[in-house]
Amino acid sequence: MKKLLLAFSCMCAISCTTTSDSKVLSPDDQLNLNLDVSANGTLLYSLLKGNDTIVSPSRLGFVLQNGDSLCRDLQIADIKYSAFDETWQRQWGENKSVRNHYNEALVRVSHKPSGREYLIKFRLFNDGLALRYEFPETFSKDSIVIMDEVTEFRIKGNPETWWSYADFNTYEKEFMHNRLDSVSWAATPMTMRKDNGTHMFIHEAAILKYPDMTVKNMGEGRMKCELTPWKNGVKAYVKAPFNTPWRMLVVSPDAKGLIESPMMVNLNEPSKIAPSDWIKPMTYMGIWWEMHLGSKQWKEGKMQAATTEEAKRYIDFAAENGIGGVVIEGWNTGWDKWGQEDAFDYVTPAKGYDLREVAEYAKEKQVWLIMHHETGADIHGYEALVDSAFALCKELGIHAVKTGYAGGVSTGENHHGQQMVEHYQYIVEKAAQYQIMLDVHEPSKGSGLDRTWPNLMTREGVRGMEWEAWSIGNTPSHTTTIPFTRGLAGPTDYTPGIIDVLLTAKQKERTQWNDQLKDISQTRVHSTLCHQLALLVTIYSPLQMAADLPENYQGHPAFQFIKDYKADCDESIVLDAEVGEYIAIARRAGEEWFIGATTNENSRTLNVSFDFLPEGEYIACIYKDAADADWISNPAAFEVKEEKVNSTSVLTLPMAAGGGFAITVKPCK
């Protein structure tokens, strides 16, 4: 085997051949990338952190439709090096100030039998490695048909792993926790912890014109890239020049560093939208939860949820309580034609719902009306009508749309395949033209594209709150694992904030509307009330839903935290965390801080240090589980108390089993 060791040199933009000896290190010299070429021309990379092998030699390359195997018979033509360091500002995000610091190697690879060349770009950050393939215009004049991408992550050792099973059509899965050798086929992000305490996750960034990636266990720690296919078996059709998404591996000494890593957004291009007041993070609520409970329905009729009167009731409640927006699901016709092509036209209101009257009323009350476009995954039907639908939004002064793609894709393709990735991106760019923010449900995975298109505010892609209304539900471990798995892919519209955790308020009015359970009276929210409050902080979304009904919030003392919470945060700090066990996060909005902490099924106590506070005195309003609280037997029991704190304060706060706490911290006046 001919071996080329890469570690960063101070000389940038120079070339070398496979006979040269050069290096690429991370900026802090802790991570070391190695590139090898085997005797049969297989290109391999490996990654070390000090003396610890993170990734053992792993294959790179492609298999094309014409039989060319661009993963062997390869040689390195040259390598160019560069370094980059900048700090940039986001219009919104967990942290509005972001540092982007890496060393880069651009490797030109030659396929000896055909003479064709492509590029592999490696970026080494202090917290991990990213790589992507680049096909220059000279690679081919014709469309490139990719049958397989053989990129591997050969993980050294047998780390603990948190993962969900790969499904080409949904990310709404439970998370599993076992050793890597028991993982079969995983969606990303896939999170690991080595026995020496090193934490890692595999994911991808900047998914454009290319299918979502999964990783399949090939044995001996070899997690191989498996792209979501077209129904004809092809993985991707691309045209040179073309860049694949970034394959990325974040490496951290602890669980906190996984969440705090900015690598994914840094691998995306800068914003294509100038800072604008129509892009506005907010807490919202809406006509939604009652349909999942089964006390109301989306379609027209006697159980219709979306009426003019009901919409105004929600808008009044939002205005009175400082809630920024209201979404109205079931506002339009077509719900009785679910699953049919052209079921929805996105402009025709249902009987009993006066769209223009509601829009004008919301404007008068200074509440943002959020439009809802359920497509039923009829993508051609939606694309044909999206201009008229968005034009109506613009006419009515509506700047936010929640889209949905429930059900099988009308073309027969997979939700996470190339066709749908391109469709989702088309809608994002079309929405930007009409000054519309998006909340996408049943999406492709998050990959940091919200940096480039900040109107792409949030997405679902998770087994969310609605599962609590009509299935066996989501365990406390599930919601405490999300920040370390799905949450690493970006903003997550989990729709938290249920105060009626036992679902008693509408019990007599509920009807069975799906086949998940035989008896929906057995459903409930699987956490304490304070755990629900904390989820607004721990599961990040710049559009954060308070999902419960107005009547359950009205007059309830815990609702004050939701009223106070500001989704437009400036800075985020992970205070303490262990994957799937517990997490505590503090987020700053202006001079105020919001802290949320959740635990799994085990009770525990956390010591919360306030050393992140600037000088001065603050009032901390603490919502915590009562002494006798328990997520199974006494989930609604909680206490509220106030304490003065400063940067030297440390509070000891217990969490019940399945519980948590939420804190607002405001400067003393």
Looking at the annotation, which residues are catalytic?
466
Distance CA 88, CA 267 (A): 13
Whether 164 contacts 186, CB under 8 Å: yes
Token pair recorded at residue 498: 């249920």
Q: What is the dihedral of CA 309, 311, 315, 318, to 10 degrees?
A: 120
List all residues 6 or more positions away from 60 whose beta carbon is below 8 Å from its beta carbon: 43, 44, 45, 71, 120, 131, 150, 151, 152
Whether 460 contacts 440, CB under 8 Å: yes
Distance CA 153, CA 629 (A): 44
Closest to 272 (Cα-Cα) out of 459, 541, 455: 455
Residue with tokens 């219009």: 91
Distance CA 153, CA 133 (A): 15
Token pair recorded at residue 14: 């120079």
Closest to 311 (Cα-Cα) out of 326, 301, 325: 326
- Quickly list H helices, 507-574: 529-538, 550-553, 559-564
Whether 261 contacts 250, CB under 8 Å: yes
Round the CA-based radius of gyration of the chain to a whole number and report it.
Answer: 25
Cβ neighbours around 174 below 10 Å, total: 14
With both helix axes pointing from N to C terminus, report the angle between 418-433 and 379-395 in degrees, rounded to the nearest 10. 10
Distance CA 134, CA 121 (A): 7
